[in-house]
Amino acid sequence: MNPQALADLSSRLPELRLLTEPGDLEHYGRDWTRRWTPAPLAIALPASIEEVQEIVRWANHHRVAIVPSGGRTGLSGGAVAANGELVLSLARMNRVLGFDAVDRTLTVQPGIALEAVHTAAREHGLIYPVDFAARGSCSIGGNIATNAGGIRVIRYGNTREWIAGLKVVTGLGELLHLNRGLIKNSSGYDLRQLMVGSEGTLGIVVEATLRLTDPPPASHVMLLALPDMQALMQVFALFRERLSLQAFEFFTDVALKHVLAHGAQRAIEGDYPYYVVTEFDAADERAQEVALAVFEQGLEQGLIADGVMAQSDAQAAALWRLREGITESLAPHKPYKNDISVRIGAVPVFLQDIQALLAHEYPHMEVVWFGHIGDGNLHINVLKPASLSDADFIAQCEHVTQRLAETLHRHGGSISAEHGIGLVKRAYLESTRSAAEIALMRGVKTVFDPNGILNPGKLFA
Ligand code: MLT
Ligand code: ZN
């Protein structure tokens, strides 16, 4: 790269905050994956859309790659800068820009944390319903870039459903104002939805108009203990038939062990192999009676072994912590993460297949199963044994992931349900997308970013 390039950036944008200290490069050059050594050229922290556009024009001129960066809580390496890229952090563009009571939309800058969006929506008596454990640190721009899912997808769907409009800067620095909050818009290709889930490879989200909705009624939270994995989807069917579910999440005894060691409180005495945290509407007292009747039925049928219903908000939060604390409790064990999905109807057979596969392939490793089973999304984390080097561990896991990808392909599933492809899963994209689809995706990339400036190497090699 031309050594004058950074000086040129500063002279084009004298007010731009630019960081080049080693500590900053290290901090902004990585996400929650720990596989790559950060090595960005510099970190730019623009404060306006115009600055973002000028950075992109500068990058085209000097042929510098840009890694768009939000809260860097991603789990697929989508925000990693390990090859001299400019990290374009949206951290300073983190304000609420407006609320529209008639349209029930909130317009925000991309660097705002998901939790701050929740708070802003509640101030207007509404909710932004996408939610997951990283809410305090992840940014809405990153949520859009990965089409983030989370714990309430069975009720509300993914991020995609809640995007009413987007302002996006393309790979050539043009500003697009997509969909503009319209509910109905049959005027051709929906470029807004193309941006959602594009992992920063087509454009940089610089403003988002989010749809809000009414808060759900009061709810109950239950923890269930299950005797075996096959009971999972039967219990799901039982509960879904009689109750209005907001969440249905599962984890294993191994996940529980880690989360308890990390400070969470045990809620059920006795040890069981599988657990479910479920939350459902409690519009009236009948919901509790129905839930208890369903629970009894599950007990009688041998599908449920034990359970507890939270009697206060504090107890509900403690039950949720058992599920939401898992990622943090596993982090010290350098987990290799899988984030896969199949149709809900395919889950039981798929579970049988991969249980057998993983027991065979990982006989000496701790495998932690958890996830959003109510929407067919499993997080299978493999923990690194102390005896293996990082490189050997990854090599073994990659070998198994290839087998897992083949199984997913047979079941019509996806190698990434909600974390994105990034660097971590790009070798397996073919298991989920046909050659024709990938060729079209590459073509789309070229249209929006002809010089390959935006997040190169992510999604595709
Ligand atoms: C979660 O649902 O907790 C995260 O998406 C999963 C993970 O850490 O693998
Ligand atoms: Zn998840």
pLDDT in tens, 444-459: 999 999 999 999 999 9
Query: If you measure from the C-alpha of residue 370 to the centroid of ligand 1, how many angstroms do you get, rounded to a whole number?
Result: 8
Ligand 1 pocket test: which of 32, 147, 419 has the largest number of ligand atoms within 8 Å of its C-beta?
419
Q: Which domains, from first to last, does the chain contain?
A: 96-211 (3.30.465.10), 219-327 (3.30.70.2190), 334-419 (3.30.70.2740)
Please name which ligand lies nearest the alpha carbon of 75. 1
The Cα-based distances of 377 to 187, 231, 412, 422, 452 in angstroms read 33, 17, 13, 18, 32
Query: Which residues lie below 8 Å from residue 239, measured CB to CB, with a gap of 6+?
Result: 245, 248, 278, 280, 291, 294
The sign of the dihedral angle between the CA atoms of 379, 336, 131, 262 is positive
Please name the residue whose Cα sits nearest to atom 8 of ligand 1: 327
Ligand 2 center from residue 255 Cα (angstroms): 14
User: Would you state the pLDDT for residue 321?
Assistant: 97
**How far, in Å, from the CA of 372 to the mean position of ligand 2?**
6
Q: How far is the CA of 449 from the centre of ligand 1 (A)?
A: 31
As a whole number of angstroms, the distance between CA 49 and CA 88 comes to 12
Q: Between the CA of residue 106 and those of 90, 268, 279, what are the distances in Å?
A: 18, 41, 26
Please state, in angstroms and rounded to a whole number, the distance separating the CA atoms of residues 361 and 14.
55
Query: Burial level of 98, CB count in 10 A (0-12/13-18/19+)?
Result: exposed
Strand partners of residue 329:
none
**Rounded (5°) CA angle 148-30-194:** 35
| Atom number, ligand 1, closest to the C-alpha of residue 150 | 2
Residue nearest to atom 9 of ligand 1 (CA): 379
Q: How far is residue 301's CA from residue 235's CA, in Å, rounded to a whole number?
A: 10
Distance separating alpha carbons of residues 412 and 342, to the nearest angstrom? 7
| Ligand 1 atom with least separation from CA of 339 | 9
| Tens digits of pLDDT across the chain (461 residues) | 667 999 999 999 999 999 999 999 999 999 999 899 999 999 999 999 999 999 999 999 999 999 999 999 999 999 999 999 999 999 999 999 999 999 999 999 999 999 999 999 999 999 999 999 999 999 999 999 999 999 999 999 999 999 999 999 999 999 999 999 999 999 999 999 999 999 999 999 999 999 999 999 999 999 999 999 999 999 999 999 999 999 999 999 999 999 999 999 999 999 999 999 999 999 788 888 999 999 999 999 999 999 999 999 999 999 999 999 999 999 999 999 999 999 999 999 999 999 999 999 988 899 999 999 999 999 999 999 999 999 999 999 999 999 999 999 999 999 999 999 999 999 999 999 999 999 999 999 999 999 999 999 999 98
Q: What is the pLDDT of residues 12-61, one digit of tens each?
A: 999 999 999 999 999 999 999 989 999 999 999 999 999 999 999 999 99
Question: Ligand 1 atom 7: the closest Cα is on which residue?
Answer: 327
pTM beyond 0.90: the answer is yes
Contacts of 22 (CB under 8 A, 6+ apart): none
Q: What is the pLDDT of residues 80-124, one digit of tens each?
A: 999 999 999 999 999 999 999 999 999 999 999 999 999 999 999
Question: Rg of the Cα trace of the chain?
Answer: 23
Measure the CA–CA gap between 148 and 156, rounded to whole angstroms: 12
Distance of alpha carbon 367 from the chain centroid: 20
Ligand 1 pocket mutation pick from 146, 322, 323, 326 by most atoms within 8 angstroms of CB: 326
Q: For atom 4 of ligand 1, which residue has the closest CA?
A: 327
* Count of positions (residues) in the chain: 461
From 75, 138, 322, the mutation candidate for ligand 1 (largest count of ligand atoms within 8 A of CB) is 75
Q: How far is the CA of 299 from the centre of ligand 1 (A)?
A: 29
Q: What pLDDT score was predicted for residue 1?
A: 63
User: What CA–CA distance (Å, rounded) separates 279 from 302?
Assistant: 21
Collapsing DSSP to helix, strand or coil, 351 comes out as helix
Contact residues of ligand 1, CB 6 A cut-off: 75, 132-133, 326-327, 337, 339, 379, 381
Ligand nearest to the CA of 158: 2
Ligand 1 binding pocket mutation candidate from 322, 339, 425 (most atoms within 8 A of CB): 339
Tell me the C-alpha to C-alpha distance, in Å, between residue 280 and each of 176, 277, 284, 345, 405: 40, 10, 12, 21, 33
pLDDT in the model for residue 2:
65
The pLDDT value recorded for residue 449 is: 98
Measure 396 CA to ligand 2 centroid, in angstroms.
23
Of 192, 458, 168, 229, nearest to 351 (Cα)? Answer: 229
